[in-house]
Amino acid sequence: MSSPCFESYEKKIYTHNDLTSQEWYQQYSRFVHLKGLGERSIKSYLSWIRQLAEHYPGKHLPDLKSGPVLDFLLHLQTQRQLNGSTVNQAVCALRTFYRDHLELKWRIWSKVKIKREEALPHVLTREEVARLLSTFRDGRYRAYFTLVYQTGLRMSEALSLRPKDIDAKRLVIRVRHGKGGKPREVPITPVLLSRLRSFWKYHRNARWLFPGVGRGWKSSGLSLRQAMHDCQHHMTKSSIWSAIRIAAAECGLSKTHEKISTHTLRHSYATHMLEGGTQLHQLSAYLGHSSLKPTLVYLHLTAVSETQARQALDTLAGV
Residue ranges covered by each domain of the chain: 4-110, 126-308
14 in helix, strand or coil? helix
Please give the Cα distance from 277 to 295 (Å, whole number).
14
Q: What is the CA radius of gyration of the chain?
A: 23
pLDDT at 12: 42
Count CB neighbours of 146 within 10 A. Answer: 19
Give the integer Cα–Cα distance in Å for 47 and 103. 20
pLDDT at 304: 64
Q: What is the pLDDT of residue 254?
A: 84
Same fold, 4-110 and 126-308: no
Per-residue pLDDT of the chain (319 residues; tens, 9 = 90+): 344 443 343 434 444 447 778 899 999 999 998 887 778 888 999 999 999 999 998 889 999 999 999 999 999 988 998 888 888 889 999 999 999 999 999 988 887 777 665 567 888 999 999 999 999 999 999 999 999 999 999 999 999 999 999 999 999 999 988 887 789 999 999 999 999 999 999 999 999 999 999 888 888 889 999 999 999 999 999 999 999 999 999 999 988 787 899 999 999 999 999 888 889 999 999 999 888 888 888 887 776 666 666 666 566 765 5
What are the two backbone dihedrals, phi and then psi, of residue 185, each rounded to the nearest 5 degrees? Answer: -120, 140
Three-class DSSP category at 35: coil
Q: Can you tell me the distance from the alpha carbon of 126 to that of 263, in angstroms, rounded to the nearest whole number?
A: 15
Measure the CA–CA gap between 206 and 172, rounded to whole angstroms: 19
pLDDT at 306: 60
* pTM for the predicted model, two decimal places: 0.68
pLDDT at residue number 117: 59
Would you state the CATH architecture of domain 4-110?
Orthogonal Bundle (1.10)
So what's the pLDDT on residue 13? 41
Residues catalogued as catalytic: 154, 179, 263, 266, 289, 298
CB count in 10 Å sphere of residue 142: 18
Fold of 126-308: hpI Integrase; Chain A (1.10.443)
